[in-house]
Amino acid sequence: MCSTALAYILWFFLGTVGVHRFYCGRIGTGILWACTGGLLGIGWLVDLFLVPSMVREANYRFFGRLDGGYDHPNRPIPTRPTDPQPAVATGEVPAGEPVVENRRMIYCTHCGGPLKVPVTAAGRQYACPRCWTVLTVPG
């Protein structure tokens, strides 16, 4: 998670060599700043106003959210969205997988996560434990 405060500290002390731009994931302009001394100091001064937007874009690009949550597909900790999108789960039981204790496995169409539901749960809705997508159990 990129921090605006740290980006400003890097900008102030090492901004003419583009360290704050490397920190925000802007490698190309970081190299340009390093080779030209922050575009002769003019780019360094302009970055005073651009640092917050660079941090927001970096957080969105690396973590998938602007507010710092962890709902990016590669993050292990899911967060509950405000309005989950309904989806229909696949109800096929894989070959060789027994139905245990009157339950069967369904798989989320969004993330592929498994979910055990009662055999009699046709038409009911459940939330996927990984991505919190609302799943309707097929018949």
Residue 97: inside a domain, yes or no?
yes
Q: Are residues 56 and 91 in the same domain?
A: no
Contact 82, 132 (CB under 8 A): no
d(CA 111, CA 81): 14
Q: Is the domain of 54 the same as that of 94?
A: no
Per-residue pLDDT, averaged over 89-114, amounts to 64
Task: Check the CA dihedral 136-67-71-60 and report its sign.
Answer: positive
Structure tokens that stand for 19 in this block: 């360290």
68 lies in a domain? no
Residue 116 is assigned to a structural domain of this protein? yes
Is 76 within a domain?
Answer: no
Per the structure, the count of domains in the chain is 2
Residues 128 and 91 in one domain: yes
CA distance 88 to 80: 18
The arithmetic mean of pLDDT across residues 109-116, rounded, is 78
In a domain, 78, yes or no: no
At 98, is the secondary structure helix, strand, or coil?
coil
**More confident: 102 or 8:** 8
- The pTM of this model reads 0.49
Strands 114-118 and 103-107: antiparallel
Structural domain of 50: 4-63
Residues 10 and 54 in one domain: yes
Residue with token string 């989806």: 87
Task: Tell whether 59 and 91 lie within a shared domain.
Answer: no
Distance (Å, rounded) from C-alpha 1 to C-alpha 56? Answer: 10
What's the rounded Cα separation, in Å, for the pair 31 and 13? Answer: 17
The answer to whether position 124 is within a domain reads: yes
Q: What is the pLDDT of residues 59-100, one digit of tens each?
A: 777 766 554 444 444 444 444 444 444 444 555 544 445 545
Burial 3-30 (b: 16+ CB within 10 A, else e): eeeebbebbeebbbbbbbbbbbebeebb
Q: Are residues 20 and 55 in the same domain?
A: yes
